[in-house]
Amino acid sequence: MTLAPETTDLKVQLRLTDGWFTVCDINRLTPGRGVAALLPDGSQVALFRDRSGTLYGIDNRDPFSGAAVLSRGLTGTHQGRPFVASPLLKQRFDLVSGECLDDASVRVATYEVRAG
């Protein structure tokens, strides 16, 4: 979703099976970078905000290495699709579908994210 620039006191929320889970203030997300969040079940999510203000959430674990590092990757746009490149071995993951752009057989979980 797109945010108006003045609404910066919003919270980043993540849809889990039992409702919306509040993570942090929106201003903790630098456009173009990610942060990691810990979910109640112990799993980890990587949250991103692009330069237009759209928010994304995917599993923080890099499926190629097992390390929880996707939130620390560089983001970008590839043929109109927003992606993050793993900081370990540089595979890119579509932030909307979770699909690995460099190996179609690999996919990470995605989360619905909103500012509310």
Decide: is 96 part of the binding site for another protein (CB under 8 A). no
- Residue of 59, 54, 53 lying closest to 71 (CA atoms): 59
Decide: is 98 part of the binding site for another protein (CB under 8 A). no
Among 3, 50, 53, 97, binds another protein (CB under 8 A): 50
Decide: is 102 part of the binding site for another protein (CB under 8 A). yes
Phi and psi (nearest 5°) for 61? -75, 130
Contacts with another protein in 10-39 (CB under 8 A)? 23-24, 28, 30-33, 35-38
Q: Are strands 110-111 and 19-25 parallel, antiparallel or unpaired?
A: unpaired
For 19-54, letters b (16+ CB in 10 Å) and e give eebebeebeebeeeebbebeeeeeeebbbbbbeebb
Decide: is 66 part of the binding site for another protein (CB under 8 A). yes
Interface residues toward another protein, by CB under 8 A: 23-24, 28, 30-33, 35-38, 42, 44, 47, 50-51, 61, 63-69, 72-78, 82, 85, 87-92, 102-103, 106
